[in-house]
Structure 1
Amino acid sequence: MNKMLIAGLFLVCSLSVCAQAEVTEQEIESHIKFLTSEKNGGRYPGTKANKRVVKYLIKDFKSNGIQGSKQGYKQPFKAKLRVAKGEAEKPLVPTCNVVGFIEGNDPVLKNEYIVLGAHYDHLGLGGPSSKSDKKNAIHFGADDNASGTAALLEISEKLTAHKAELKRSVMFIAFGAEEQGLLGSKYFTEHPLVPLENIKLMINMDMVGRLNDKKQVYMGGAGTFPGGVDFMKDLGVSLGLNPGVHPGGVGGSDHVSFYKKGISVLGMHTGGHPQYHTPEDTLELINLPGEKMVCEYIFQTILRKASSTEKIYFINQD
């Protein structure tokens, strides 16, 4: 009887692990629902809500077997907040990047890193970056960038299930204070947790939740690593997507901080929309099946690059 019970428990655990190894619409929705809750008030740097989100991210990393650095999962820094023209400067506020790792298995290539990043902060109640005339209204930031943060958690979970295939190491970074001027990624690239020359590719996800009917996924920077344009086009098409692949066009999100340091990048997004930087950027408008497809695209990109021995090096697109 005891043997049967143990066998049953083992089967349940095995099925649970297998279920967690897949990106699901339900988990994407659950992450975005938490991140865009009224309690979290737009995830503004320096607030209790910001700290609550950081705890959520760390808890998820831990539960999925993502390791922290020697200093832990947090990389703290002080953020200078944007103010409207003519307003007095605000005091610096504490926030942080949240960083996790999966170590590669090759004795040499494990010292090389592919970074997957997304910013978790948003505009709080609006401020100078808001596109809305509504004052003191929560800017929920479902697409910008709860969608990217949810994708970060889901892809890291799936990569953990495939860690035996990884030759290179993979680093996951949830950046703080992106909306204040790419502050989290700038801080990381000035205070890297591994030598910058060991980071071979940085993939950034900023607004990946609004895949359109034509299934268009856009990216800049595909020409910054060898064969990147053809690789991203062919892989996207094979997964039923319509990739808009730009060799340059690095854009204006956190991957720019890495590009400026001579690191190959991909900046991934599903396009702009009228709800950008307004209180109307909400969960109801997220295309959950579409985001799942985008997650699979990025997962496959990382899996193939991290499990290969091909050289990845920077190609300047300026």
Structure 2
Amino acid sequence: MDAIGTARVPDHPTVQAALSLARRAPSVHNTQPWRLVFDGHRLQLYGDTYRRLSSADPQGRQLTISCGALVDHIRTAFAAAGWSTRVTRLPDTAADHLAEIEFEPARDVSDTVRARAAAIDRRYTDRLPMLPPRNWERVEPALRAVAAAGEVTLTVLEASARLRLAAASAQSAALRAYDPQYLNELHWWAGNDSPADGVPISALVSAAELAQVGVGRAFPAAPPSLRRGELTDASKLLVLGTDADTPAQWLRAGEALSAALLECTAAGLATCPLTHITEVPTSRRAIANLVPGRVEPQVVVRVGTAPTTASQPPTPRRPVSDFLDLHRFG
């Protein structure tokens, strides 16, 4: 039952439908590191530590950012179904209990919410070179607004900073080039054909295309894409940062990341989150030096215009039943 009826909480089919949409949230290496419990009244979100990248993400920072992205996707999906949500972040002392989400019927559904919810299925990570983002003068203020709403700083890097960011990306890759644990982890999650998770070969790029981008993660190489020609990447580079480096701030950074990606997708733009540059402390410090003030960089995002209208096939997602516990549903 949706919120137009008399119910005070969403019923089982509504929960299933909303989470079937929300599960499209981006996560590091598409690990989808989350568990949910719905008791008939509240939705509890837990980080799934079995899906944490032990080499790339030993602190669980990226796991928490991924779960924050899911929180925003959940709120967007339920809002489009007519339900307002209230989030309590880190509701108790359990390290893996990241959020509690409560519901109440919404009075209406705004066009903005509908547009963001419709963007969920269209959003994908575009690792190929991009053209400059269209209508940037209109999109940029909207991105700053959604980030600020989540207490996250959004910085658009100057074009002159691209070379320094590329150097930080190369440094991060060099530090990991002979790390067998990191490389095994990367190849476990990327370039395979899992029907439920990971980064499929269709979402990866060739070595030549990676070089054209300059700031991408060195995933296993793929065959060249259908975007022919020597296109030099002209995307905008955004840095999402927080004023502290705590789990609460990581969660909010993930929420802001989700909101920004959906805002861009709704505007017809392509996006690519870059998390590898913030995995290594030296690279992270290099990014911090590109951002005014004292900011903890959490995620870098490329935003541009795809030169063709053809998008890649959807990346896989786990079925809702794989991460949702309904055994206490009343």
| TM superposition score normalised by structure 2 | 0.32
- The TM-score, its normalising length taken from structure 1, stands at 0.33
Higher relative contact order (CA closer than 8 Å, sequence separation 6+): 2
